[in-house]
Chain A
Amino acid sequence: MHDAIVSMDRRRALKTLGAFGVAGALTRAGRAWAVDKLVVGVIYVGPRDDYGYNQAQAQAAAAIKRMPGVAVVEQEKVPETTDVQKTMASMIEQDGATLLFPTSFGYFDPHILKMAEKYPKIRFAHCGGLWTEGKHPKNAGSYFGYIDECQYLNGVVAGHASKSKKLGFIAAKPIPQVLRNINAFTLGARSVDPKITTQLIVTGDWALPVKEAEAANSLIDQGVDVLTCHVDSPKVVVETAERRGIFVCGYHANQATLAPRGYLTGAEWNWLTPYTMHVQDAQAGKPMVNFLRGGLKDGFVKPSAYGRAVSEAARKSADGVKARMMKADFVIFKGPIKDNTGKTVVDGGVSHKQTDVVLEQMNYLVEGVIGKV
């Protein structure tokens, strides 16, 4: 086969390629793409195999690809600049996409808002809780999950596993969503043993692998024996924990394969739930649901399967809390709660349920977290 091409008269080969090849390829590329299918565009800010935020979205994208009548186009590593506006527009104009999942938090304002206004017939489903009734267009919407429920379960399991009673948390930025995870994790752990503390290190940005590794090592050097994190890709933290022989709880996606020995459990997104809802609504021509949110019981988040290091007692107590969460009978932020400066932040008798907007303005670290906002 290769010999035949080489021995073919060069001029003739070029001519053939020129005449048929280019014309053929041009029509193929120019042809309307995926006719009669709902074309769904998914946009990621980082690589989709990052073992983290982007992978969690990509797993849902891969699953809806298998739904009948659905075609998916994906683009990764798109920055939160005019680049993402042009990427959205390209999916609409060049690929015929009518439902978009631009997944990075920073895509919403101004990028999605601008495109939603420009393309009023296209649906824009954004990951995060930013869509507001009366303020934002009806063809845009938010989906998000109460991942702090799984963080609380992480904390319970970590609390059982820790011998030094020192846990470590590596966080990207001290913003409400991250603080809520740190606090839920710590509350979960201290429900097992109130002597437990969580040492916090904030790296300053979503993807700083070198700093994350340094933070992990320094926490382990200080005697921390269970680590977890809230950064875009937990890969480095999980691998460092495994190499140093301590336990680790995952985040965003499942990292069990990276730490077969030390992986306890993890807080995972289950984006397939909102993705499926949006796809089905689009296929049925129903108006889009602008605000989708849910926790464990709604299938928006899920814990990773327990690792082999998780004791029977830990499983039992975490499963007990999970069962109550599944019945919507468990409140994480239930007073009295003090912050780590001794100030009461949730009064006794007050329960902040998941839908409570107060939780979205969280600006404190609960008692037991060593660190500052």
Chain B
Amino acid sequence: MKGQRLRAAAEALAIPIGALAGALVVFGIFMAALGRDPLEVYALIHRGAFASAFSWQNTLARAAPLVLTALCVAVPARVGLMIIGGEGALVLGGLAAAVIGHALIGAGPLTVKLAMAAGAVAVGAMWIVLAGALRHYRGVNETISSLLLTYIAIAVFNHLVEGPLRDPASLNKPSTAPIGEANMLGQLPGLDVHWGLGFGVVLCVATYVLVQHTTYGFALRIVGGNARAARLAGLPVGTLLLLACALGGGAAGLAGMVEVAAVHGSANASLIAGYGYGGIVIAFIARHNPLAVLPVSLFVGGLAASGGMLQRRLDLPDATVQVLQGVAFMLILASEALYGRIRIFQPRDG
């Protein structure tokens, strides 16, 4: 039993790492074709993302917002829902946080921060629950509806930020009124990385325990495996679906709160940066395992950090860096087909 578990873990590590190595080789050939030295490219990737304390912080800072938005995909995926609308939950969560933060200026900073977080989580959760409810009660495809809800969320966000909620002092960059310096979240102690990373790590571990080691999580997985069978077994399928959506949406809403409270200080269009979409690919590479979201985010953050280095030193356009990301994601996703097919990782039967 134990040996089998070890083998499965080794398989889950070896396959993506092999795919990654393959991606680096392919990208190296691509670079060589462009007349660049592949070894210098690898050295720059390493230097940009992982070679020094500075580059590690760079990687972590870029990974931080993605951890939470990845959960918005990974958790609903456990009940079989493909939610890709984390961006909408993020911007509306951020907006809620900004409004609450400004309204409560003067209250104790801890109270304000907790209220901002609670408001953002509630709004984010509600937004994704909408997609879940449409699916459960009306049979609307949740992938499409959550994506379309994102467009609605952004339109509502822009309308409010440029209209009723606009701070008159924000002239050429329409923003809500600031939440005030005292209510800002600040950085993780000793690091130049904001609290989003801390929240992300805690939530990933917590959801992992919840999904893998509680009866509630077991019920979620059964619904994901076969909703009909789950219903026959007497599980409250609808409630479980909506709860999973609420958890995921809440995580994305919290990511919005962190962007407002740790970075921008108010809600404005800079919040719409695509972090919600960035989380999708992470969740898929992590195979919707909340714990695996952490290393995968680190990897994606590292790619982003070293992508900048490649642009600057080799004078390459951003598109070239996207080739590296694209090749890596494609190979990792394609490598899924290898699970259960490499003999050394399979249990030896008698």
Contact = CB atoms under 8 A, between A and B. Distances in A.
A28 B44 CA distance: 9
A242 interface: no
B94 to A, nearest CB: 11
Given A30-B43, A82-B61, A82-B263, A93 B158 contact: no
Contacts of A73: 312-313
A78 B308 CA distance: 9
Given A74-B315, A87-B308, A176-B171, A81 B43 contact: no
Please report whether the interface of chain A is mostly helix, strand, loop or mixed according to DSSP: helix
Nearest to A42: B312
A294 interface: no
Interface in A74-96: 74-83, 85-87, 89-91, 93-95
Most buried by B among A91, A110, A128: A110
A177 interface: yes
22 contacts: A22-B42, A29-B44, A29-B313, A30-B43, A33-B313, A47-B317, A74-B315, A76-B311, A76-B317, A80-B273, A81-B65, A81-B275, A85-B61, A89-B54, A90-B58, A94-B55, A110-B264, A110-B265, A128-B172, A173-B174, A204-B155, A360-B171
Contacts of A75: 308, 311-312, 318
Contact of B305 (A79, A86, A95): A86
B172 A176 contact: yes
B40 A91 contact: no
A364 to B, nearest CB: 14
A344 interface: no
B174 A175 contact: yes
A25 interface: yes
A105 B172 contact: yes
A28 B42 CA distance: 12
B273 A74 contact: no
B78 interface: no
Interface in A52-85: 73-83, 85
A22 to B, nearest CB: 6
B143 to A, nearest CB: 21
A252 to B, nearest CB: 16
A278 B58 CA distance: 28
Nearest to A360: B171
A137 B64 CA distance: 28
Given A83-B304, A86-B57, 14 more contacts: A25-B42, A26-B46, A33-B313, A47-B318, A73-B313, A80-B273, A81-B263, A81-B273, A82-B64, A82-B65, A86-B305, A93-B54, A94-B55, A204-B158
B45 to A, nearest CB: 9
Nearest to B263: A82
Contacts of B192: 89
B270 interface: yes
Question: Interface size for chain B: under 10, 10 to 19, 20 to 34, or 35 or more residues?
Answer: 35 or more
A205 interface: yes
A66 to B, nearest CB: 14
A245 interface: no
A177 B172 contact: yes
Contact of B47 (A30, A89, A109, A110): A30
Contacts of B288: none
Top 9 A-B pairs ranked by shortest CB distance? A25-B39, A80-B270, A29-B43, A73-B312, A79-B273, A25-B43, A77-B318, A25-B40, A21-B39
A24 interface: yes
Interface string B293-332: 0000000000011001101110101110000000000000
B103 to A, nearest CB: 21
B225 interface: no
Interface string A345-368: 000000000000000110000000
A361 B172 CA distance: 9
Contacts of A89: 54, 58, 192
B239 to A, nearest CB: 36
B58 A29 contact: no
Contacts of A209: none
Nearest to A129: B172
Interface string B135-175: 00000000000000000000100100010000000011110
B48 A90 contact: yes
A83 B62 contact: yes
B113 interface: no
A145 to B, nearest CB: 14
A29 to B, nearest CB: 4
A94 B47 contact: yes
Contact of A28 (B40, B48, B58, B264): B40
Contacts of B259: 81
A209 to B, nearest CB: 15
B270 to A, nearest CB: 4
A13 interface: no
